[in-house]
A and B are shown apart, each in its own frame.
Chain A
């Protein structure tokens, strides 16, 4: 970025233009500011998983297996669905609106490097995702004695599953944003995809109780693997025998999520549009 200075003005600009890291952080701060100020998206994004887990805890009272309460099982789906909401749904709905309003066109008319826009979105998604997950856990611990992971290894697994999952969902959200031709169609494209994945990936039902063909379809997409990875964190090791593969298959979780990161990135690079089709 520092090589783009005009020679005649370099002296004046030297301490003036932010470097790449600062550019990304500024963009992230701007995105967060915009998100936090649109109060309804804060309330719904943050509140949705919390309300859902409270409903589940109220409906399914009891144990799914000896020593494993229903909320202990469903928290994994709620965390995964929450991460997917802040990344995949949020971006898949908002980017078409920004494209339609000309936000992207406006950025393209400035010297801002293209990647800074995506960096800003990623920072926003990660911060909101962390806060939202922390709130969800805090409420769950207070409301129905959720057992937090007991070992450092489990926390580490929690970390990498979340990071890989939110990365894959972010990239897929950016990619799917190009399918919507207008601002209004963003949520029409994204919402059914998200809902179907949530129903088939073990967010709302116990995964192993789903028909096996449905399990196999869900296994093509990242959400199922995020849930499975998180079950290894929040459920006892003895529960692993109840998984479809007879274990939590953490290696396969990492592989599928990483593959979706690559697929998402390729889709983004190949299909991202800065202007609407009407604009050419």
Chain B
């Protein structure tokens, strides 16, 4: 397998009875990259990621994650990957510090637990029992347990669900720091702004297939998409037109109105518009 690639999957398939969850996914994730998997619920996102994490067996296809087949990994494979699960509050009776210290003991090359606790912003809660943490704090603890082994490859499953906006920004910074330190990151998310803010590349999954992989700014040919110019007519109606050359339209309008154009807006499709259009075709 290519050393530049952290993950290679070819023709990945998985069915639950008659329900085909993953219908032939081809995927490559480069080392050091932040890759976001985007898709509606039931699209096959979680199944795909759990096959890569070694939690589920595939029905067909080839997979290599850090050079190992996750269904039958090399001895030290689990030492090299980190998984941030969606679950919260499994260890009600333990403190943050006890739990992170305990999990550190599982890894050959664990990070300093106190440092990791501080890094995810739980230093003030280190002695607190986990059941006293807020939802956002529990997610931070999940992240701490995911990164305590200093993984080369980190999986994050909808990591900021339930975060307030400030916590999300802090979390994004943490992900950027990990990426800057060379960690390969695969994250699934519902939030398009999150994919746009963090990911080098975004894969859109729908109906069990990867329908597009691109940098966020290129997704769905977004950079070539027409802009919409809209304005208010003297009768008070709003008119709009799509154009590849919006400046021309605006110049024309300025001439027509002899100066200021009432209610003028020029917009390009957001990532969300593009994404909804893409999965809407399914």
What is A's interface to B at a CB cutoff of 8 Å? 3-6, 9-10, 12-13, 16-18, 23, 26, 30, 33-34, 37-38, 98, 101-103, 105-106, 108-112, 275, 279-280
A18 CA / B108 CA spacing, docked (Å):
9
Contacts of A16 in B (CB 8 A): 108-110
- Chain A's closest residue to B146 (CB) is A109
- Which residue from B53, B83, B105 sits with its C-beta under 8 Å from A18? B105
How far in angstroms is the closest Cβ of chain A from B146?
A: 8
Contacts of B87 in A (CB 8 A): 101-102, 105-106
- Contact flags (1/0) for B98-114 with A, using CB distance below 8 Å? 10001101111110000
The answer to whether A33 touches B94, judged by C-beta atoms less than 8 angstroms apart, is yes
Secondary structure of the B contact surface, majority rule: loop
Contacts of A279 in B (CB 8 A): 55
Q: B149 in the interface, Cβ–Cβ < 8 Å?
A: yes
The answer to whether A6 touches B76, judged by C-beta atoms less than 8 angstroms apart, is yes
- Chain B's closest residue to A1 (CB) is B108
Q: B191 in the interface, Cβ–Cβ < 8 Å?
A: no
What is B's interface to A at a CB cutoff of 8 Å? 16, 47, 50, 53, 55-56, 75-76, 78-80, 83, 85, 87, 89-91, 93-94, 98, 102-103, 105-110, 145, 149
A102 CA / B105 CA spacing, docked (Å):
19
- Which residue from B55, B79, B94, B110 sits with its C-beta under 8 Å from A4? B79
Inter-chain CB contacts under 8 Å: number:
87
How far in angstroms is the closest Cβ of chain B from A35?
A: 8
The answer to whether A108 touches B85, judged by C-beta atoms less than 8 angstroms apart, is no
Contacts of A110 in B (CB 8 A): 78, 103, 106-107, 149
How far in angstroms is the closest Cβ of chain B from A233?
A: 35
Secondary structure of the A contact surface, majority rule: helix
The answer to whether B93 touches A105, judged by C-beta atoms less than 8 angstroms apart, is no
> Would you list 30 pairs from A and B whose C-beta atoms are within 8 A, ordered by A residue?
A4-B79, A5-B79, A6-B76, A6-B80, A6-B108, A6-B109, A9-B108, A9-B109, A10-B108, A13-B109, A16-B108, A16-B110, A23-B106, A26-B105, A33-B94, A33-B98, A34-B93, A37-B93, A37-B94, A101-B87, A101-B89, A101-B90, A102-B90, A105-B85, A106-B90, A110-B103, A110-B149, A111-B108, A112-B106, A280-B55
Contacts of B80 in A (CB 8 A): 6
- Chain B's closest residue to A29 (CB) is B102
- Which residue from B16, B89, B107 sits with its C-beta under 8 Å from A17? B107
A109 CA / B50 CA spacing, docked (Å):
10
- Chain A's closest residue to B102 (CB) is A30
Contacts of A18 in B (CB 8 A): 105
A275 CA / B54 CA spacing, docked (Å):
12
How far in angstroms is the closest Cβ of chain B from A38?
A: 6
How far in angstroms is the closest Cβ of chain B from A278?
A: 11
Contacts of B85 in A (CB 8 A): 102, 105-106, 109
